[in-house]
Structure 1
Amino acid sequence: MTEKLFERALGRLDEAAQHMEVGAETLERLRHPTAVLAVSIPLRMDDGRLEIFDGYRVQHSDLLGPCKGGLRYHPDVCLEELKALALWMSCKCALMDLPYGGAKGGVAVDPKSLSKMELERLSRGFIRRIADFIGPAADIPAPDVYTNARIMGWMMDEYSQVVRQRTPAAFTGKPVALGGSLGRRGATGYGGYVCIRELAKRRDWVAEETTVAVQGFGNVGQEAARLLYENGYRVVAVSDSGGGVHDESGLDVPRLIRAKNEHGQVKSLYCEHSVGDEKNGEHISNAQLLELDVDVLVPAALEDVINADNAGQIKATTVIELANGPTTIEADRILDERGVTIIPDILANAGGVTVSYYEWVQNRSGEYWEERDVLARLDKRMCDQFNVVMDIAADKSLSPRMAAYGLVLKRIGAAVEAMGTAALFDGD
């Protein structure tokens, strides 16, 4: 499926263009990444061996501003996937009305196989290879899969040494001590919670009567589940790569978070007496979680988990996509026909890039904000853009996904038109 991921991502835009007035040049621009960089990174291992790792950076668009997007470490990193992710970042930034285009990058490596010193050397070596292509006004990387604040700190420090000046605005998602923003770590989950909260207002949901299942219990899924739990929602199931737990009466989310972070698996709370003994909980698989009879399903892990094979068995009436691309185009159509509301990934998980933007602004101004101020700004922007999308969807009888992509095309199209298209030059 990965080899077609970029074309599938473009398919969303093509479908949205059928419902909006979009210039042909806008779509053509979005079909072609601005730049694609491939590098090799020689790494001296702790035992003296030399290994070479492949690294990539895809800059999809700079029509609205410098490129922005994560760097991931994963054995399966490839250009096709990164092109799709970079396109989604372009869409996400346009949707949130941020002065950014999209980018994505990574290194094909299993970071768990490296020592901490090897990981630092790899991170610094990667930045030396791509330093000429990134920077605060060109392309600003951030954490992604299997990278974190510490790695961003190493990368920022290495970039600063290359350019001979301290440059915290070249990276976001850094440790707070190195110029990172308060509120960044939980921003993606917080943004997803805001979407659920605003949708609840439109649907007159009662929190205590609304059931939620969360697939994926990393940083993003944990934060969303925590906020929902604290605000009265009944979180009845969560899962990670090892499986999940389900309790129809509601899970103790804070205890699950502790179990996950201390023992590495959410099921430990229900399976290990040293952590807890919840008699009503049952162990379930990730596949079973997706098909539970709940009000809200939150896929917060991998792409394509909701597909043509299981879309017909999804019982949730609302899906909040905190993962990137968790629903295939085929599944999207099936769920739409069944009346399931999907809040798309480019909206639901945009909290992370929004606070990355705030971090960049703070770095460039030298003025740093309290966490409550960061979250207040995030809350307002997520709330505003969510309601713009939902109003467009209602006005044009579109799904929220098509409304979101239509708004993306409108905003990027305005930039394309401002520079002049064939209509401007025709006849000159």
Structure 2
Amino acid sequence: MLQSTQSVMKEALWKLGYKDNVYELLKEPSRLLEVRIPVSMDDRSVKVFTGYRAQHNDAAGPIKGGIRFHPDVDAETIKALSIWTALKCGIADLPFGGGKGGIACDPRHLSLGELERLSRGYVRAVSQIVGPAKDILGPDVFTNSQIMAWMVDEYNRLKRYDSPGFISGKPLALGGSEGRERASSLGVAICVEEAAKKNRLRIKGSRVIIQGFGNAGSYLAKYLHDAGAIIVGISDAYGALYDPDGLPVEYLLNRRDSFGTVTSLFEGTITNAELLEQECDILVPAAVSGQITKENAHNIKASIIVEAAGGPTTLEAEKTLDSMGILVVPDVLAGSGGIIVSYFEWVQNKQGLYWPLEEIEEKLRLKMTEAFNTIFDSAQSRRINMRLAAYMAGAQKMAEASIKRGWV
């Protein structure tokens, strides 16, 4: 994941005309903290978890980025994700540098009390390098508003003052923003709409497959279903459902558990890999990385792919998709809705003035639409794919800020 990210970053900076020393600065996070977090478990044992916080580049402003709780969290993954977040900030023209944090764990196997103690332990471990003017945390994979509430409470205890701007994705009662929970999905939905326009495809009646039914995938399914799309396939960690005539979206949404799983309630499921190769107009990988590879890319039947997950398409697969004329909207663009509304939350916390949902979604749509069209037009004029165009748009701001500061 990190090597692929660096490869595209290097090409993007070269096409922008920057010297090699700019790439040397931006190819890795400027700072990576690894921490050990002891947690008292319910059985009275003490388990030690490993956590990370990567800060990519703060030339354009304080660091911003989420925290994920996942078994596959490691240093290399967190490094790559911090670069992606930095690119998202550049694409959306936010006054932030990118960061990412995580803990190697499976929250599905932790009790509520264990999860709270782990969340608070993480804040204590990283408290010296984070804060509302240094590094603003936020939710990511398998973390939610309750975890953010525990974290902001722990930070306030440590600092002995109230600091809602320390973290985004909080409950509304603690200074959270309207629309934050579904911001990532709305951002993806806007990109689906814009990509469909470019391909002269109407959303109403389009057949859509969404791989992943967690926070992003489930909200996206509802958005597109309400817009008239036919959701023909969804999946979770245990399998996939596919029906060419359309799935009962509302029923599935009502039956999913807190981790977004629902397929275990049904017989006749297929695998996630099989779902990717089914007939559809629009495919949205919203699960995990590395799903579309050189082995299965030639079997993709969609005309549009919008990446809601991080890194679902390998670079080798993308070459095949490009040759097949499939429009791929990259994750660093499609997945930027969450960080945009996190920025809105940070601004509202600083002002002490909170905006209604309609205003937030209007501001989000404006930023996403502008970013999509800028990147699409750049890709067309330069005759490159949208991923490279997005990396160029995202890297330019932090490169310029680093140069103006005299760092390179």
Fold match (TM-score > 0.5):
yes
Aligned residue number for residue 27 of structure 1? 23
Are 1:295 and 2:275 counterparts?
A: no
Are 1:135 and 2:131 counterparts?
A: yes
- Of 169, 193, 200, the match for 2:196: 200
- Of 311, 319, 323, the match for 1:325: 311
Structure 1 residue 164: deviation in Å?
1.0
- Of 168, 172, 175, the match for 1:176: 172
- Of 144, 147, 151, the match for 1:148: 144
Structure 1 residue 269: deviation in Å?
6.8
8 Å Cα contact 2:236/2:260 also seen in 1: no
For residues 409-420 of structure 1, the aligned pairs below 5 Å read: 409-420=395-406
8 Å Cα contact 1:255/1:269 also seen in 2: no
Are 1:361 and 2:357 counterparts?
A: no
CA distance in 2, matches of 1:373, 1:263: 29
Aligned residue number for residue 256 of structure 1? 252
For residues 225-374 of structure 1, the aligned pairs below 5 Å read: 225-261=221-257, 265-267=261-263, 271=267, 283-374=269-360
Are 1:72 and 2:74 counterparts?
A: no
Identity between Structure 1 and Structure 2 (%): 43
Are 1:381 and 2:367 counterparts?
A: yes
Structure 1 residue 36: deviation in Å?
0.9
8 Å Cα contact 2:309/2:335 also seen in 1: yes
8 Å Cα contact 2:57/2:398 also seen in 1: no
Aligned length: 408
C-alpha distance after superposition, 1:366-390 (max 9, x if no partner): 0011111111111111011111111
Aligned residue number for residue 215 of structure 1? 211
Aligned residue number for residue 58 of structure 1? 54
CA distance in 2, matches of 1:268, 1:45: 29
What is the TM-score when the length of structure 1 is the normalising length?
0.91
**Root-mean-square deviation (Å):** 1.7
CA distance in 1, matches of 2:407, 2:116: 46
8 Å Cα contact 2:156/2:162 also seen in 1: yes
- Of 94, 100, 104, the match for 1:98: 94
8 Å Cα contact 1:256/1:269 also seen in 2: no
Which secondary structure state, in structure 1, belongs to the residue aligned with residue 158 of structure 2? helix
Q: Which runs of 4+ in 1 moved over 6 A?
A: none
Aligned residue number for residue 121 of structure 1? 117
8 Å Cα contact 1:62/1:101 also seen in 2: yes
8 Å Cα contact 2:222/2:250 also seen in 1: yes
CA distance in 1, matches of 2:259, 2:163: 37
Counterpart AA for 1:16? A
Aligned residue number for residue 406 of structure 1? 392
8 Å Cα contact 2:239/2:264 also seen in 1: no
CA distance in 2, matches of 1:121, 1:260: 26
Are 1:394 and 2:380 counterparts?
A: yes
Q: Cα gap change, 1:56/1:147 in structure 2, threshold over 3 Å: closer, same or farther? A: same
Are 1:86 and 2:82 counterparts?
A: yes
Structure 1 residue 400: deviation in Å?
0.9
Runs of 5+ in structure 2 lacking a partner? none
Q: Cα gap change, 1:262/1:375 in structure 2, threshold over 3 Å: closer, same or farther? A: same
Structure 1 residue 119: deviation in Å?
1.7
Are 1:185 and 2:171 counterparts?
A: no
Q: Greater CA radius of gyration, 1 or 2? A: 1
CA distance in 2, matches of 1:336, 1:17: 21
